[in-house]
Structure 1
Amino acid sequence: MSQPPENFAASIKDFESWPENLVHQTTCLGVLKAHKTRLDVTEPKLFTQEAEDINVSFLELIESGPTFDNLEVSDDEELQQRLGEASRRGEDPKCRFIFIGAGSPQAPLKISRKMLVRVLSYYQVIPGYVDRLLEFDGRGYARKDMYSGFLSQTLLNHTPTMEVDYLGRSGRQLQLCYNLRSIGRTKRNHLAPCHKQWSFRHGAFHHQFDILKGTAVWITTTADLDLKKRIEKSTGKTGMREDRQFQTPEQCLKSSLTVHLLLCDWAYENLRVYFLWLDGTVEDEMYLLVHNRRIHEEYPQIYSLGDLEALRNLQEQTKGALQVLKGNIGVFSGLRDFYHGLGENDGFSLRDSCIGDISSFTRQIDNIIDETKRYLAQGQLIAKIIDARETIIFQHFQSQATEKTEQLTTNMQRHSLTVRIIVFLISIYLPATFASTIFSIDVFKYQDQDPISTSNASDPIKQLVSIPAIALDRWLQVTLPMTCLTFAAAGLWLWREDRKLRREYQTTPICTN
């Protein structure tokens, strides 16, 4: 058995430093260190820390085997044995799929970092793949910074650093990595229609194809293993025969194009159902809001923050879908342009024999792009409808606020008038009552020496009208100043209250949105 090249052996030995250990580096060392740093920072959330949770699936076709073998590894030792089988056979499997799952979008990947970088170093995966993996950091569905992109590396000429004879690698290969998002229904069907029943599922994919040998490698990373079942079905006995041929490099390339289409279909398939649901939900919810009625009875509706929250939820759903579609369109276009350019490249040795398959592939991708753009336009229209109707809801809120303000103002005016009347009456009667109470006690007593008054002492009525003039003068001297002071104090208090209300009204901000 031949020995591996020294540079490749050194790279495998230093696998934990990936991507700094790559033998064929097309970027500066600073960029490679930045990729490694991002992997270091996200390691606790990106990879499982429990050894019993590790589970990596392999689906591979050996040169002599008629069907794919389905295998699983649960630790780094088993992974080394699985990868070492190729060196004992003298070549890589004809086609190998490596499936990395997470169980759920909130869970870390079911692989350790050590195992992942061992695989990436073994296949000398380009460093850009790490950016696609960073989406699986445990933050779940709700992502506003979703990253989508297509990256490729083409080595049509012989590249000595990438040639590994003992593994059957010619050094002339294609590398592609990209990520796609699909829309899938969640299992929480008990929620109201306006709440989230759909979620965005992320998938990161890496593909290598040896141009001379026809060997292919796929690394697929998704939250669940739904794609694994689809690929097993496509490569199994139930799949199309022409998509399961790996005898020649041409057949291997065609099979790889089929897998690309399968991944694109995964990202595209639920768009029609999703936008039908979204459009219907918007119409149903907006009918109740805009037309101001319920289903079986009509009456004026008081809008609340719950209505606005339902509207904002639909708006978030729509904008998230638009972002997903735009990212997918970019990846579809990159995939199409890559193979279209490959078919026109004179240095591509499979050009003449595979031009028909490549043309068919690019046409199918064009169809997917056109359909996705149609749904993108539909989503943009729904977003505009939601924005317009959100304005209507704000107008209803402003109308309700105006009505409440007018009602409050009327009540305040009535209250103010009542208070003024009470203050006026108190200002008149309180000083006189107070003075009369004081003068009625024995402290103030006036003796009338008028004989006429004395003769009338036995007559009660005459006693009431017989008030000494000096007593009346003293009463007026006390009452009138007290009344004036009371009026002045009441007026000052009313003036300060009015001034306070005017100041609060002038400083209160008016909400226009």
Structure 2
Amino acid sequence: MALWILSFFQVLPTFLEFLFAFGKQLRAVDFQFSGFREDNRIEAILNRGPLPEIGRSGQDYQICYNLKTFEYKPGIAWPWSSRQTVVWHSFDVQTGHASWITIKANDIIRDRLKEVSNMTLAKDNDLYTSVAKMFVNTLASHTVILEWSGEGWRRYINFLEEQLQSLKRRAIVDRVTRYAAPPPTARSPPSSGIPMADLPPSRTWTLLSPSTHTSTANAPPQPQQPLPAGVAINIPEEPREPPNAPPDFDPKHQGAADLDNDQTVYKIEELQDAQAFEDMVSETCLVLKSNFPVLAQIEAFFQSLPKSGDLDPNLRDCMTANIPRFLKRIQAVRSDLQMHLDRIETISRAISECKSLLYGIVEYQSMQANKLFASEARCSAQRMEEMTKEMKSLTLKTTLETVMMRIITVVTVFFLPATFVSTLMSTDIVHFNSFDSNINSGSTSLGAVKLFLCLSFSLMVATFTFGFGLYWWAVRYQV
């Protein structure tokens, strides 16, 4: 069907270049392609073969062009997308026969052309009785398409500026948190207060909102000279309320978790989003610039039409009277597009600057995080050094205690047999008289010896059993 239609109307072969840009696509393809093609055969030596059966004299012109704009489609993450319209038009200057082929992904152009045609017919019922009037009608149809190419840009650029403001708020307005180093671990003797010289500097409260700034009008005056180190003051355990804090800010619940959150405020994903935003704006700029040469070539083509010597005088007079008005409409569209282009280029430069600033912020945060980690590592090393010194002192004390225990053990083992013998001989088991001089002259009670041995061995068994039980319980349940 398409081949038959294109052959019947003798459409320019270059029209296929514009036609192939349409179709279902996963991503934008040939979005930068634009152009203007013409085939002017008004001169007698360039006339086509006449076909009077279908109302063709052979003295006509054909033009083919495409224009683009951005249209809004709700319900998606990025609701604006580039849309184009391809137009092929021929006009027979002898019969006034006009042919149109417009390609558009929706019915906007078709509905507007119908509306313009109905309005023109309502004003002039004799529209199709004069070649000059039919030519003026074609200019009105071209005007509809040209003005469509200038629509939508203002709303779309406003949308881009809203996205830019969000990016600026992240890159410029929001303040970057400066991570504080961990507090020193040096030990100080306990006192009723904290010396003023040892107090850390007051924290600068950073509120992530574009319109809050810390005011010092109500802040207490700072002392000109620091207090002596011996002066101590009592500091409350709860943190102090920052001045001019918003109602939903509660410093009592601000802790280490907030520091972790602050570290993730600026992420590398934001740089990726900024880069994608910049690419989208660059694509928009390229699409907008592609309309300018097309409009310029359309303007030049219609300016040259009345200059043909083979035109009918009435048609030439009509062209001379109406084409300047049509060219003014083109110039108005070009002027609006130039204004939109200036805005887009300004947005593109602002995005590039914000992206560079975001990159610097991410680098700064990385540097601050490295400093924080280095400070924590240094504090950990200091704590390990202190623990090592304590372990060294503890090892020395343990060594001294071990030496003392060994001395006590040696002395105990040395005197233990004599102590045992002295204890045994002080009882009634062994009995010597004061005048006995022989070692065998004493007497011994065999029953007492047996009783002593029975009691001793029984207590030894009970003691060893109890000790082994404690050792087994400790190994099983506490190790």
TM bin (shorter chain): 0.5 to 0.7
Does 1:345 pair with 2:308? yes
Shift of 1:262: 0.4
Label 1:120 to 1:198 Cα distance change in 2 as closer, same or farther (>3 A).
Answer: same
Give the direction of change, closer, same or farther, for the CA distance of 1:144–1:253 in structure 2 (3 Å limit): closer
Pick closer, same or farther for the CA change 1:402–1:348 going to 2, 3 Å.
farther
User: Which has more radius of gyration?
Assistant: 2
Using the TM superposition, give the Cα deviation of residue 458 of structure 1 relative to its aligned residue in structure 2, in angstroms: 6.3
Task: Compute the TM-score of the two structures, normalised by the length of structure 2.
Answer: 0.60
TM-fit CA distance, 1:140: 6.1
For residue 377 of structure 1, report the CA deviation from its aligned partner: 1.0
Which region of structure 1 is more displaced relative to structure 2, 252-261 or 140-149? 140-149
* Counterparts of residues 175-194 of structure 1 (less than 5 Å): 175-188=62-75
CA distance in 2, matches of 1:144, 1:303: 35
Q: Deviations over 1:324-364 (max 9, x none)?
A: 21111121111111111223333444333421111211122
Matched AA of 2:293: G
> Where does the alignment leave 5 or more consecutive residues of structure 2 unmatched?
175-207, 214-244, 246-260, 403-409, 420-479
* Offset of residue 160 of structure 1: 6.2
Asked if structure 2 preserves the Cα contact closer than 8 Å seen for 1:202 and 1:222, the reply is yes
Alpha-carbon distance between aligned partners in 2 of 1:399 and 1:243, rounded to the nearest angstrom: 74
Q: Distance between the aligned counterparts of 2:124 and 2:349, measured in 1?
A: 46
Residues 428 and 152 of structure 1, relative CA distance in 2, 3 Å threshold: farther
Indicate the SS of the match to 1:246: helix
- The normalised TM-score by structure 1 is 0.56
Would the aligned equivalents of 1:246 and 1:255 in 2 still touch at CA under 8 Å? no
3-state SS of 1:204 partner: strand
Counterpart in the other structure of 1:333? 296
CA shift in 2, pair 1:325/1:239, >3 Å: farther
- Distance, in Å, in 2 between the alignment partners of 1:294 and 1:458 is 89
Matches within 5 A, 1:20-35: none
Q: 1:389 aligns with which of 345, 349, 354?
A: 354
CA distance 1:388–1:296, change in 2 (3 Å) = closer
Selected match of 1:167 from 50, 54, 72: 54
In structure 2, the partner of 1:105 is none
- In structure 2, the residue matched to 1:315 is 278
Q: 2:138 aligns with which of 240, 248, 256?
A: 256
Distance 1:256 1:409, change over 3 A: same
1:251-301 residue CA offsets vs partner (Å, 9 max, x unmatched): 111111111110011111222232233224423442344200336878996
Deviation at 1:163, TM superposition (A): 2.5
Aligned-residue offset at 1:206: 0.7
Is 1:380 the counterpart of 2:345 in the alignment? yes
For the aligned residue pairs, the C-alpha RMSD in angstroms reads: 3.9
For each residue in 1:189-243, what CA deviation from the matched residue of structure 2 results, as whole angstroms up to 9, or x when unmatched? xx6xxx5222221211111111211111110111111111111111114767369
Give the SS at the match of 1:206. strand
Q: Which residue of 1 aligns with 2:3?
A: 117
Query: Which gives a bigger RCO, structure 1 or 2 (Cα 8 Å, sep 6+)?
Result: 2
Mark the CA change 1:405 to 1:213 in structure 2 (over 3 Å): closer, same or farther. Answer: same
- Contact preservation (8 Å) 1:179, 1:205: yes
Q: Which of residues 106, 109, 127 in structure 2 aligns to 1:224?
A: 106
Aligned to 1:356, the other structure's residue is in SS state helix
Write out per-residue CA displacement over residues 371-395 of structure 1, whole angstroms, 9 at most, x where no aligned residue. Answer: 2111111111111111111111111
Match of 1:369 among 334, 343, 367: 334
Equivalence map 1:431-450=2 (5 Å): none
Matched with 1:209 is 91
Alignment CA distance shift 1:238-1:178 (3 Å)? closer
Matched residues, number: 330
| Corresponding residue SS for 2:95 | coil
Q: In structure 2, what is the equivalent of residue 245 of structure 1?
A: 127
Displacement after TM superposition at 1:132 (Å) = 0.9
Partners of 1:116 and 1:243 in 2: how far apart? 33
Query: How far, CA to CA, are the matches of 2:418 and 2:3 in structure 1?
Result: 123
Is the 1:135–1:146 contact (alpha carbons within 8 Å) kept by the matching residues of 2?
A: no
User: For 2:40, which of 154, 157, 176 is the aligned residue?
Assistant: 154
CA distance in 1, matches of 2:414, 2:170: 90
Identity of aligned residues (%): 20
Q: Is 2:185 the partner of 1:270? A: no
Inter-partner Cα distance in structure 2 for 1:238 and 1:170: 26
* 1:365 maps to amino acid: I
Does 2:287 correspond to 1:324? Answer: yes
Residue range with higher mean Cα deviation, 269-278 or 307-316: 307-316
Alpha carbons of 1:297 and 1:162: their partners in 2 closer, same or farther (altered >3 Å)? farther
Q: Which moved more, 1:228-237 or 1:337-346?
A: 337-346
CA–CA distance in 2 between the matches of 1:232 and 1:141?
32
Q: Are residues 239 and 267 of structure 1, via their aligned partners in 2, closer, same or farther at CA, if it must alter by over 3 Å?
A: farther
State the secondary structure of the residue aligned to 2:10: coil
Other-structure match for 2:324: 359
Residue of structure 2 equivalent to 1:294: 209
How far apart, in 1, do the equivalents of 2:368 and 2:128 lie?
75
Note the C-alpha offset of 1:141. 6.8
Query: Separation in 2 of the partners of 1:335 and 1:141?
Result: 30
- 8 Å Cα contact 1:141-1:201 kept in structure 2: no
CA contact (8 A) 2:38 2:63 kept: yes
Separation in 2, partners of 1:230, 1:279? 30
Instruction: Give yes or no for contact 2:48–2:59 (8 Å, CA) kept in 1.
Output: no
Could you tell me which runs of 5 or more consecutive residues in structure 1 were left unpaired when the two chains were aligned.
1-114, 438-447, 460-513
Deviation at 1:144, TM superposition (A): 6.6
